[in-house]
Amino acid sequence: MLKWLSFNALGTWLTTRFRGELVGQDELGNRYYRNKAVKGLNAADWRAERRWVVYPDGVEPEPTLVPPGWSGWLHKRFEHPPTVAPLQVKPWEKPALPNLTGTPYAYVPPGSERGRGQRDRATGDYEAWTP
């Protein structure tokens, strides 16, 4: 219980506890909630429908790990969650990648020595002679 609190703010916990309606859970254990909406309100109104995610216990919260279907629902691009209307995946779509920063797969700009182990040509370079 306290451990759960260390990852989630008290406000989120209280809102989830008293107003949240569980919509579904994805394969990573993220749980998705929405509040009981007052119908017909401007989206900017605080009483309008809000959607949020609660990450599983003991895992570093990582928003980019939210699957595309759920992400779309969270951002209200889709009206219905993937449990109701599964995401259509086109054959040419690549799987979503989480944020790779800090991992060996992180992006390095071309020319960086970390990328290919060698740097690009730069002003002042010369070739030394070796016998």
Which residues sit at the interface with another protein, rule CB under 8 A?
Answer: 123-131
Q: Min. distance of Cβ 125 from another protein in angstroms?
A: 7
In the bound state with another protein, the residue whose beta carbon lies nearer, of 107 and 129, is 129
CB count in 10 Å sphere of residue 12? 16
CA distance 71 to 94: 16
In the bound state with another protein, the residue whose beta carbon lies nearer, of 40 and 131, is 131
User: Facing residues of 51 across strands?
Assistant: 34
In the bound state with another protein, the residue whose beta carbon lies nearer, of 36 and 121, is 121
Q: Min. distance of Cβ 123 from another protein in angstroms?
A: 4
Q: Min. distance of Cβ 111 from another protein in angstroms?
A: 16
* Cβ atoms of 61 and 55 closer than 8 Å: yes
In the bound state with another protein, the residue whose beta carbon lies nearer, of 1 and 128, is 128
Q: Min. distance of Cβ 121 from another protein in angstroms?
A: 10
CA distance 9 to 118: 45
Unique residue bearing structure tokens 């209280």? 14
CA atoms within 13 A on the CB side of 71: 10
